[in-house]
Every structure is written in C-alpha cells, then in structure tokens.
Amino acid sequence: MLGHPPAYGPGAGAAPARRLTVLVVEDDPFVRTALIRHLTDTGHAVRSVGTALEALREVSQVGCDLVILDLGLPDLDGGEALKMIRGLTNVPVIISTARDDETGIVRLLNDGADDYLVKPFSVEHLDARIAALLRRLGAGASTASPVLRVGALAVDVQRREAALRDAPLDLTRREFDLLAFLARRPGVVITRKEILAEVWHHTYGSDQTIDVHLSWLRRKLGETASSPRYLHTVRGVGFRLEAPRP
Ligand code: CA
C-alpha cells in the first residue's frame, strides 16, 4: 500500500498502453519512492518534486502528461496548488490525499482535479485510476503522440526508434532521449537547464556533457554546427529542433 511504508513486489511488468511522463508531487519519501518505482516499472517516465512551488515550475517549464498531487505539501495547501496548476495547464491531475473527506474531495474535483486516491492505496488501484482517466480523456487527447514528426525526422517514443527520411538512426539512449525531448517542442528554444533536468535528471551539471551528446546527435543527423539543418544552437540559451526550410 502506498501511504504506508511500502511493501515492494516485483515490478508489475506489463507495459502500459501508453508511456506517460508523470510528475509525482509528494513530500513523503516512502510514498514518493514507491510511486516512482512502480510507475517506472510499468514503463512510464517519472519526475518527482516535494513541494508545490517546484511542481508549478515543472508544469510550466517542462510539462508532463499526468500529475499525481499530494494534498499535504510543506509549502502550499494542495488545493491551492491545484488551482495554480489549473491556471497554467489542463494536464490531468490525480489528487492523492490522506483525508477521506467527502466535501473536500468534491471541492477539489470542482476545482479541476480529474480523479483522487485516498491513502493508503495500492498500486493496482493507482493503475486502474490512470487507465480509467486515459480512457475518459480518449486516445486523441494525448499530449504526447507516440510518433513525433519534425520534417523528415520521425521519433517513435514508445518503440524508442528514430528515423531520418525513413532511414533508421542508430542512437544511444541519451541521444534518443535528447532528440525525443527536443522533438516534443519543435521550433521552441529549449534551455540547457531543461535538458539537464529532463535527459540527465539533474538540476545542475556541465554544459560540456550536453554539448558532447548534441554534437554526436548532430553528426548522426548528418549535419554540422556551422551549417545546421534540424538542430540549431541558440548561443547562450539552448537548442532548437526544427524542420529545415525548403
Ligand atoms: Ca504529504
């Protein structure tokens, strides 16, 4: 059960119908670890934060497909956090609460929560809620299409395959993550900080690491920094992936 010190079972195994990027907002380390572990085991990409303010930053700057939001956070009341998230995005939000308080839950649903779980809850219950939510939203409502297309570049995030003009690209795990992250927002400048957080799961690190991986990726795309086609460096800021102009 999540919400109590967790009893870990073997990974649930079955791949999810769709790989989501889930933001776990939870200050309790036991629950947080268990959620991350379970969601990762079931094939989702997970980011986690322990405060409402960090959650707002993640939602506004990085984006995700689903938020699991604990109501009892150290900095802001979860209900307030929910309203602020709703002010930024329509991303699905599942509330996780220790309070089985009907009036409170009704208010949260009215304030824009998509569903709720009362702690302690089992991972099966969580999976069922996520599946039900996805069904309600419909396959077409996905914020993350399984195949991202930027010009002649296709990135299949579920199969983790990428191709340029139908020719498969032989990418390392990092290179793929990097390309997929950039391809999710074509034409938008992505900062080094965002790349570090998303691809390396660090909030700080060396710019050189990113530069090295980007130069390998660039080579595999058959281009150079001085005459870029898809991958553009925006000096002092970050990078942008976009289709070459005809
Ligand atoms: Ca809490």
| Rounded distance between C-alpha atoms, residue 23 and residue 58, angstroms | 8
Question: How far, in Å, from the CA of 107 to the mean position of ligand 1?
Answer: 19
Domain 21-141 identical in fold to domain 144-241: no
144-241 adopts what CATH topology? Arc Repressor Mutant, subunit A (1.10.10)
| Rounded distance between C-alpha atoms, residue 42 and residue 5, angstroms | 20
Question: How far, in Å, from the CA of 193 to the mean position of ligand 1?
Answer: 27
Nearest alpha carbon to residue 48 among 70, 72, 81: 70
Neighbours of 115 (CB within 10 A): 17
Asked whether 184 and 176 are in contact (CB, 8 A), the reply is no
Provide the token pair at 154: 């296709």
Question: How far, in Å, from the CA of 72 to the mean position of ligand 1?
Answer: 4
Which amino acid belongs to residue 233? T
pLDDT tens, position by position, for the chain (246 residues)?
665 544 333 344 444 557 889 999 999 999 999 999 999 999 899 999 999 999 999 988 888 889 999 999 999 988 899 998 988 888 899 999 987 778 888 888 888 898 999 998 999 999 999 988 887 776 444 444 468 889 999 998 777 889 999 999 999 988 998 999 899 888 888 888 888 877 877 766 677 888 889 999 999 999 998 999 999 998 888 899 999 987
Question: How far, in Å, from the CA of 23 to the mean position of ligand 1?
Answer: 15
Q: Torsion-angle region of residue 56: left (phi > 0), alpha (psi -120 to 50) or beta?
A: alpha
Q: Where are the domains of the chain?
A: 21-141, 144-241
| Rounded distance between C-alpha atoms, residue 148 and residue 106, angstroms | 37
Question: How far, in Å, from the CA of 170 to the mean position of ligand 1?
Answer: 43
CA angle, 211 then 57 then 243, to 5°: 45
Output the CATH code of domain 21-141.
3.40.50.2300
Question: How far, in Å, from the CA of 204 to the mean position of ligand 1?
Answer: 26
Nearest alpha carbon to residue 159 among 138, 180, 174, 143: 180
Q: Which residues pair with 116 in a beta bridge?
A: 95
